[in-house]
């Protein structure tokens, strides 16, 4: 995910300063990885250099200055292009689960246990998200659905691998 | 938790093959349990035995402290009609009846006066968000709406145990969630026990716990503490 373009998107709604941008970002997108303040200010400086945002006011009260930025027409164009372009699909690197299952097969360890333990952990995580679904707002719920869909993809693979395990074990050794 | 329904040492054979090979299972009031497992693992057989539709070759099923095998077929049928509710993969509604009439069926069969049955059925349809379709037949509503009506029919007589066999198997994700929400909410608000048979982890995540059947035997999840 592009942090600069995400910040640009948040700025499009209304001019804002770094402090409020960090909080807006964390609320919507930062559940797993919140932004550091330093990252926000560095990003704003870079966006200003590229002409995508412009400084509109400096509020010097007590404490450090508060710089308010606004998005520029060039910034809107860049944001527009980013939002509309499809994500690139890239070959998926094998996950650690895949590697552990293969190593278990190669070494004669019980690969079925590896799959079963992972399946249980995945379902436990799904249950956690499912239980919280009424306590969160619509966007957070959508984020939960996104995670669940990815967990489901893993679980489909786990199921498939489980069915083929005996054949796999014969072939790899 | 006090179990309202339990099976102990359940064995069910079909020819040489044991679909259930010594299964212990219990569910408490207000508890939602998912029974998972691949096709042919014995999930549906377990549900049939627990619900008194099938009779195990060995072992006992107890509901509310009474053994199902001590009852005759008529007694088990009464139990299924009055105290159990069922949701199947394809709602199995009667196509000649409206949704409201379908939902009223369990009430008619147990002697509830028509007017009261209709009122209860309509309230149930409202709870499931499909009251506007009360007077439509199954051919006039979507698959998701029909399945919600099937859930309404399973719950309208306030059963103590709800059995659901792949209840979302024929639905898209969004409608599947609506159906699961309805089943789970019913368990919570009426203190019903729910047994959901499914091969989908997403469905199991709606339950409070899951058990997995493999080759006729039950596996409880091991502790996942790190």
Q: Do B21 and B63 form a contact (C-beta atoms < 8 A)?
A: no
Q: Do B213 and B37 form a contact (C-beta atoms < 8 A)?
A: yes
- Tens of pLDDT along B189-223? 889 999 999 988 999 999 999 999 988 888 776 54
Q: In this complex, do B201 and A163 lie within 8 Å of one another by their Cβ atoms?
A: no
A115 touches chain B (CB under 8 A): no
Residue A69 phi, psi (nearest 5): -110, 155
How many beta-carbon pairs under 8 angstroms link A with B? Answer: 37
What is the second-level CATH architecture of the domain B31-44+77-219? 3-Layer(aba) Sandwich (3.40)
Q: In this complex, do B205 and A121 lie within 8 Å of one another by their Cβ atoms?
A: no
Domain spans in chain B, listed from the N-terminal domain onward: 31-44+77-219
Nearest to B201 among A129, A152, A163 (CB): A152
In this structure, the number of other CB atoms found within 10 A of the CB of residue A160 comes to 11
Task: Assign A78 to helix, strand or coil.
Answer: helix
pLDDT band at B169 (very low <50, low <70, confident <90, very high): confident
Chain B residues in contact with A117 by the CB 8 A cut-off are: 222, 224
CA atoms within 13 A on the CB side of B139: 3
- Tens of pLDDT along B32-50? 999 998 888 889 999 999 9
Residue with tokens 């990003």: A43
The pLDDT score that the predictor gives to residue B223 is: 45
Fold for A3-84, please state it. Answer: Arc Repressor Mutant, subunit A (1.10.10)
The pLDDT score that the predictor gives to residue B37 is: 87
Instruction: Work out the mean pLDDT of chain B and round it to a whole number.
Output: 90
Alpha helices in B35-166 (DSSP H): 43-50, 73-82, 99-109, 114-127, 143-155
Chain A residues in contact with B221 by the CB 8 A cut-off are: 120, 123-124
pLDDT band at A118 (very low <50, low <70, confident <90, very high): very high
Instruction: Work out the mean pLDDT of chain A and round it to a whole number.
Output: 90
* Residue A57 CB contacts under 8 Å (≥ 6 apart), including other chains: A67, A68
Distance from CA of A87 to the nearest CA of B (A): 23
Nearest to B221 among A120, A126, A151 (CB): A120
Suggest the residue from B205, B206, B212 to mutate for an interface test with chain A (most A CBs closer than 10 A). Answer: B205
* Residue A53 CB contacts under 8 Å (≥ 6 apart), including other chains: A8, A11, A44, A47, A69, A70, A71, A72, A75
Domain spans in chain A, listed from the N-terminal domain onward: 3-84, 96-172
Q: Give the integer Cα–Cα distance in Å for A99 and A111.
A: 11
A155 touches chain B (CB under 8 A): yes
Q: Do B205 and B44 form a contact (C-beta atoms < 8 A)?
A: no
Q: Do A129 and A97 form a contact (C-beta atoms < 8 A)?
A: no
Query: What interface predicted TM-score (ipTM) does this complex get?
Result: 0.78
């Amino acid at each position: 995910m592009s942090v600069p373009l995400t910040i640009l998107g948040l700025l499009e709604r209304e001019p804002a300063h770094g402090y409020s941008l960090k909080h807006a970002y964390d609320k919507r997108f930062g559940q797993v990885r919140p932004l550091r303040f330093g990252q926000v200010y560095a990003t704003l400086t870079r966006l200003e250099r590229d002409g995508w945002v412009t400084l509109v006011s400096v509020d010097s009260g007590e404490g450090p200055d508060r710089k308010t930025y606004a998005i520029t027409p060039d910034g809107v164009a860049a944001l527009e292009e980013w939002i509309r372009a499809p994500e690139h699909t890239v070959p998926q690197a094998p996950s650690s689960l895949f590697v552990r299952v293969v190593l278990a097969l190669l070494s004669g360890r019980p690969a079925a246990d590896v799959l079963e333990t992972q399946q249980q952990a995945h379902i436990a995580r799904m249950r956690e998200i499912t239980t919280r679904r009424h306590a969160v707002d619509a966007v957070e719920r959508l984020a939960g659905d996104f995670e669940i869909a990815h967990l489901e993809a893993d679980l489909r693979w786990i199921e498939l691998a489980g069915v083929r395990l005996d054949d796999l074990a014969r072939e790899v050794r | 938790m006090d179990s309202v329904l339990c099976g102990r040492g359940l064995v069910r054979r079909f020819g040489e093959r044991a679909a259930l090979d010594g299964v212990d299972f219990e569910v408490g009031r207000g508890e939602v349990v998912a029974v998972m497992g691949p096709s042919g693992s014995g999930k549906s057989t377990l549900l049939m035995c627990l619900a008194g539709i099938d009779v195990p070759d060995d072992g006992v099923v107890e509901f509310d402290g009474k053994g199902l095998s001590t009852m005759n077929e008529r007694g088990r049928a009464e139990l299924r009609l009055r105290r159990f509710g069922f949701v199947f993969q394809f709602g199995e509604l009667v196509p000649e009846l409206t949704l409201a009439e379908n939902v009223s069926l369990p009430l008619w069969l147990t002697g509830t006066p028509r007017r009261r049955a209709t009122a209860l059925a309509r309230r149930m349809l409202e709870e499931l968000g499909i009251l506007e379709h009360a007077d439509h037949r199954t051919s006039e509503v979507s698959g998701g709406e029909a399945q919600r009506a099937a859930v309404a029919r399973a719950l309208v007589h306030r059963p103590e145990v709800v059995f659901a066999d792949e209840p979302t198997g024929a639905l898209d994700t969004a409608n599947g969630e609506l159906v699961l929400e309805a089943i789970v909410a019913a368990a919570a608000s009426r203190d019903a026990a729910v047994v959901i048979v499914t091969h989908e982890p997403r469905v199991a995540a709606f339950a409070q716990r899951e058990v997995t059947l493999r080759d006729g035997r039950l596996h409880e999840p091991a502790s996942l503490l790190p």
